[in-house]
């Protein structure tokens, strides 16, 4: 006699860590302040780079490139680390998950992209050396730096828009055979 087999209803994915409401609110505040401050810091870099590239005053350009180091080490690096850590904690401690929804995963990739662009393509120290003693900034390199920080700004603005819109679509990762059988 055939045995009737019932498939168990798909259980919701287990959520391993659930912060208390007060902890979650604190994480949200830290995350919003750090990530939006990072947008402001990068906007400051865009302004300084455009000024340094357009000005005919080599001394002003040199000062602008030197100030960028202060912004990066005093703002960009700590803010991106805090935004990344708090974002990952919020994602893992909520129904959003880190790799469950497109908007969260896209934000993770965007922030990693911003950090990599800063590390590999943004070179204010070299530009400061090139303009030492009031030498005019090399125009091509100046505009390249403007393009790099503008790209970072575009990525951060996209992340901000995704945070507010939170598109519902989930990521359809390919399930393994074992997972399908269970």
Binding footprint of ligand HEM on the chain (CB under 6 A): 31-32, 35, 39, 83-84, 87-88, 90-91, 94, 96, 98, 104, 107-108, 110-111, 156, 159-160, 163-164
When the beta carbons of 104 and 148 are compared against ligand HEM, the nearer one is 104
Provide the terminal-to-terminal Cα distance of the chain, rounded to the nearest Å: 24
Nearest-approach distance from CB 88 to ligand HEM, in angstroms: 5
Q: Which residue(s) pair with 170 in the sheet? A: 101
Nearest-approach distance from CB 4 to ligand HEM, in angstroms: 42
Are 77 and 139 a contacting pair, CB within 8 Å? no
Nearest-approach distance from CB 13 to ligand HEM, in angstroms: 15
d(CA 34, CA 14): 29
When the beta carbons of 35 and 53 are compared against ligand HEM, the nearer one is 35
Tokens representing 91?
A: 């994602």
Which residue's C-beta sits nearest to ligand HEM? 87
Nearest-approach distance from CB 90 to ligand HEM, in angstroms: 4
> Roughly what angle, to the nearest 10 degrees, separates helices 102-120 and 77-92?
160
DSSP letter string over 6-32?
-PPPPPPPP------HHHHHHHHHHHH
Nearest-approach distance from CB 28 to ligand HEM, in angstroms: 6
Tokens representing 20?
A: 């208390």
When the beta carbons of 60 and 121 are compared against ligand HEM, the nearer one is 121
When the beta carbons of 51 and 150 are compared against ligand HEM, the nearer one is 150
């Amino acid at each position: 006699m055939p045995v009737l087999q019932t498939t168990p209803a798909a259980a919701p994915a287990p959520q391993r860590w659930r912060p208390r409401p007060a902890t979650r609110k604190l994480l949200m505040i830290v995350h919003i302040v750090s990530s939006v401050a990072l947008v402001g810091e990068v906007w400051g870099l865009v302004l300084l780079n455009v000024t340094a590239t357009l000005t005919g005053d080599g001394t002003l350009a040199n000062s602008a490139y030197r100030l960028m180091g202060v912004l990066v080490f005093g703002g960009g690096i700590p803010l991106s680390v805090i935004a990344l850590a708090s974002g990952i904690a919020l994602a893992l401690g909520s129904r959003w998950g880190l790799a469950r929804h497109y908007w969260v995963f896209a934000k993770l990739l965007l922030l990693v992209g911003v950090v990599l662009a800063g590390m590999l393509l943004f070179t204010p120290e070299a530009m400061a050396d090139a303009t030492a003693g009031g030498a005019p900034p090399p125009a091509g390199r100046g505009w390249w730096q403007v393009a790099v920080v503008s790209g970072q700004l575009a990525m951060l603005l996209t992340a901000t828009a995704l945070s507010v819109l939170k598109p519902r679509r989930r990521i359809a990762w390919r399930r393994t055979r074992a997972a399908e059988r269970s």
